[in-house]
Chain A
């Protein structure tokens, strides 16, 4: 039994979640403050992967990063980086694909905190950064946890985008969801079943852990 696809899936999900946390926190904070047309447009773009067929997203990423022209060619020439049919490409596609799951919950949680909380901190002479780290973040812990776990779980479940941009290269881009599909194509139902069961078990445990944690341990202190 080759467990590489499972390992690849977990690695992809972990790297994606970590990078998205770094990107998502400041973006969510910025989106949570005030309204402008630009913000609404950006939020719409971030939300698009929720409703767009993954194959469409994958198709455009494939075109954009093709090493034959445009950005792909430039990246290839300047940095010797190729996103198409590589693990890096999977990470990039996953970041775009799972972005709404990270940014959505954090943004709404930040919006629900009363404005007076930040104002109180500012009046004590604290910078926006200090306020974010010491006051805002600690008070949205449940949503933060939800965002992290959902992003991780959603990346585990990717199929269309990954297939389009990564293909099905064993040990490089063949993640578990693709291995399931591939096994079924080859009538190897046993292998498909093992991969499926492992994915099912991991995601079930993750989702149930969030529910339990949010209910008993980290109930929002503002409720």
Chain B
């Protein structure tokens, strides 16, 4: 169970507004998060992962307090270890596909399985600059999964994939999520694209 109750100031060209989120997610559930640009979808994910702090509130994940302004608890991202798929991928330019996964985990069996899921086996020794946009995006997803996260935060994770590889990947991911019992939050502009994965949704406006 993941419980979030936060308030965070957002600055945009329209001025300041306050992002207020009070929501609970069942353990192992998959939720798509949608809403207009600038509403704070990415900020919500970054706040949960610990990259940025809310002004006030509480984040509790599987009975562990990650953040609480009242008791001044703020776990660093390293202790939260939420899998994170960045909108800009944030791949490491100096590492090959395989090195990305080896940086995250030492479990070679798991690495090989991930490479198969992302269909990146033939490109294991390639660096990101020699991958297509879709391959880069798949690598970003695999890297986040490499740590077998209990909570996975995905920011527009399928935007660069063609419909065919998207549905193939989503099918594979479904199995992995179930196996790992991962709770997943997916930010998307296009909620319909995830219909095969989940019906649960959350609107931020």
- A contact set with B: CB distance below 8 Å: 114-117, 119-127, 134-135, 138-139, 221-222
Contacts and interface: CB of A to CB of B under 8 A. Distances in A.
Interface of B: 46, 49-51, 76-78, 80-84, 86, 88, 90-94, 103-104, 127, 129, 143-144, 146-147
A127 B78 contact: yes
Contacts of A114: 88, 90
A123 B82 contact: yes
Contacts of B144: 123
Nearest to B93: A221
Contact of A122 (B77, B86, B92, B143): B77
Contacts of A119: 46, 49, 51, 77, 84, 86, 90
Contacts of B93: 139, 221-222
Nearest to B155: A116
Nearest to A120: B90
Given A134-B103, A221-B129, A123 B84 contact: yes
A122 B94 contact: no
Q: Give me the 7 closest cross-chain CB pairs, A-B, nearest first.
A: A221-B93, A116-B90, A138-B94, A122-B77, A120-B90, A123-B84, A124-B104
Given A116-B88, A120-B84, A125 B94 contact: no
A119 B143 CA distance: 13
A222 B88 CA distance: 13
B86 A120 contact: yes
Contacts of A135: 92, 94
B92, B143, B144, B146 pick with most chain A CB within 10 angstroms: B92
A119 B155 CA distance: 14
B105 to A, nearest CB: 8
Contacts of A121: 92, 103
Contacts of B84: 119-120, 123
Given A117-B92, A139-B92, A125 B78 contact: yes
A124 B81 contact: yes
Given A117-B90, A123-B144, A126-B103, 15 more contacts: A114-B88, A116-B90, A120-B86, A120-B143, A121-B103, A122-B50, A122-B76, A122-B78, A124-B103, A124-B146, A126-B78, A135-B94, A139-B93, A221-B93, A221-B129
